[in-house]
Structure 1
Amino acid sequence: MNTHDLKIFEAVAANGSFTRAAEVMFTVQSNVTARIKSLEEEFGTALFNRTSRKVTLTSAGETLMHYSKQIDHLVQEAKKDIEKSNEMSGQLTIGCIETTMALKVPDILRRFTEAYPQVDLEFKSERRSELISDVLNYKLDAAFVSAPINVPGLEQVHIKDEQLAIFASATAPELKILLAAQPVKIIVFDQGCAFRARIESWLNSKGIIQYKSIVLNSIEGIVNFVEAGLGITILPAELIAQYYKGRKLRSFPLNKELGTMSTVLVFRKNVPHSRALKTFIEMY
């Protein structure tokens, strides 16, 4: 077995086909079949369930996939650490939710790239659940997500606490009148968003289980809809104060439990970290 065999194994799993895996690996199907057979003989078990339409991982294949991703990560980290130059270099891919992207990323980029110009720092904005999955599956080096989080395989460091508030149009009546309307309309991101979970929990605490969700995919869109009086939302108070101060919005406070959101930086545990990632973690 070698690392190329594992790449072929991952290609078959990702594409569900020996033929397609051969295409993406720029080889012939007979070679893919031979390498998978060799792996199965080495481990003494079938790695794929084979049907006429698709191949899928067996439980043993799922286990090997877990280790294969770790092996690939270790090889890449070894390459980075063996570089001849003493100057820190390489690439970091960091995930965050959209509000973190708007509030914190510009300053993070400025500070980190000024200190370590040879490190290519990239950011990906996604929902919390996707960010956690991407860190676990080696698609991200680390991610800023909302706490609490208790996921096996991840470590975390506390970054900061943010204050959340309910926002409505400046022309909206008092909150109790808004909540008396049927149905209550909320402006939110898609499922998996921490702010959506907060406003839904808040409504449930008020005994409101029937409400209408208007789902948007950007902060700007949410602010526009709220300003137009189409519903209410929950967002960080700092975000609105810093970027939307002139907008026609009014805010309502939340209790401490729902109104405080802790942000943590999560990254894989029990695996070697590159110098760049160690430095990023220490900085933030």
Structure 2
Amino acid sequence: MRTEFMGYRRSGGHVGVRDYLLALPSVVCATRAAFWAVEGTDAIAIEHPIGCAQIGADREQTRRVLVGIGAHPNVRAAMVIGLGCEGVPAQEVYQGLLDRGQATAVATIQESGGTREAAQAARTFLAGVKAVPREQVGIQDLVLGVGPIEALGAAGRALVEAFLDRGGRIVFSATDDPGALPYGTPIPPSVRCAAMEAGTGPTETMTGLAACGAQILLGICDPHNLGGHPIVPVIRLGADERFRRALSDDMDGMIGDRDPDGWVDWILAVASGEMTLSESLGTASFAIERIGPTL
């Protein structure tokens, strides 16, 4: 059985399945600069409505998730852009990326001379980061993020077990697991299967699993959540024939179309560069879980 895929080996030892250049706003106020920075290039930017007037555990969680996204194995380099007076300072996110071994730089709008100047600094940095080729790596370097195990059904659980048996690693979201990792916390390298505290919505949960280090996400189709994620391929499988009739254009397939080992082979193909349907459609959503009010 196949146990290898073609991935991007990063300096910190992790392996990516995509090779994004990312403009990462530390606060909502820097969103426009981030999108100007990547306009007309192959780089991407993400958008979120927070980072300002957050305190305590809520502030720390946002910082942790932004670092997890910026340092993600699917990201070749990340440019952090801030306003200069935000609750989650760009400099803190930047330092977190440095600590994780990520290629990174930082600019703030107030210190750069304005939004366009900060965007140009980001554009210049990202344009100078050299590409790396794919190389053959083992499935032990691949982390698959999944929703709650109890929601997967028998076929979904069989797929997860086949992936683990092949040597891969799993992180799943959980709503009532005292041993779960805090939302968006990196998976310890020695752990093969871990739970993460789920977000309140599917998009928040996807972002948390990505921040944990999952390079691919697997979801059993939910008619209310058919999107992808900006930096992580999302595989959507239907488990009920009504989804095939109603949502065939929004799914990668029906879970019964292949046996569990067949789906593991396809996950490895996606890890090697085959696009999922959500990637082809460009349906990406990003949101960070909140655990406190904005002041």
Report if TM-score (shorter chain) is over 0.5. no
Greater helix share, structure number: 1
Greater gyration radius: 1
Given the two structures, how large is their TM-score scaled by the length of structure 1?
Answer: 0.31
